[in-house]
Amino acid sequence: MDTKRLALISTFTALAVASRVVLSALPNIKLNSFLTMTAGILTDPYSGFLIGSLSMVISDALFFGLGFWSPITAFFMGLNGFLAGLFWHNKSKLSRLELASGGLLLTVFYDLATSILTMIPFVKPNVLLYTVLIGLFIPSPYPMGPAHEFTTSLLMGTLAPSIIRSVRRGGFGER
């Protein structure tokens, strides 16, 4: 691994950890998903997985506390980075609409998967899916899932293309 690549992985991991901690007061407004997917696109699927999973484990260990949910959220955030890298790493032209809609779908997948798996110990199997859907989409003061999904989609469609172009132009990241 060359030093530029290592620096890019370290920078995105640190940004994702810091953003998760700093934005913890705003429920489900997370830059972590956006940063993980962008990093997966810039590096490769495997590094995207590493960045996503490390950002969750490190921020849990340092700030939120490690628990049974940590491996679940780490795996699925890593999977988001892996899938973003798999879908868009080798593409030279990235459409804003494609990134926004892909970011939305990957974040919905993350939210549903982590909610279902972390609720299993607490909810009867016959009401698990209903409990997760209600918990993600109906709580007050605003729905948690859509807040996370909308901000990630918005950031993927607006900021990610410029960041990817700038980092690639600077000689960092692979194409």
The CATH number of whichever domain residue 92 belongs to comes to 1.10.1760.20
Residue at 146 is within a domain: yes
| 42 vs 101: CA distance, rounded Å | 18
* pLDDT given at position 36: 97
Q: Cα–Cα distance between 54 and 10 in angstroms, integer? A: 10
User: Residue 51 belongs to what H/E stretch?
Assistant: helix 45-59
In a domain, 90, yes or no: yes
pTM listed for this prediction: 0.90
Whether 174 is covered by a domain: the verdict is no
Q: pLDDT tens digit string along 2-57?
A: 888 899 999 999 999 999 999 988 777 789 999 999 999 999 999 999 999 999 99
Say how many domains are in the chain.
Answer: 1
| Owning domain of residue 91 | 3-169
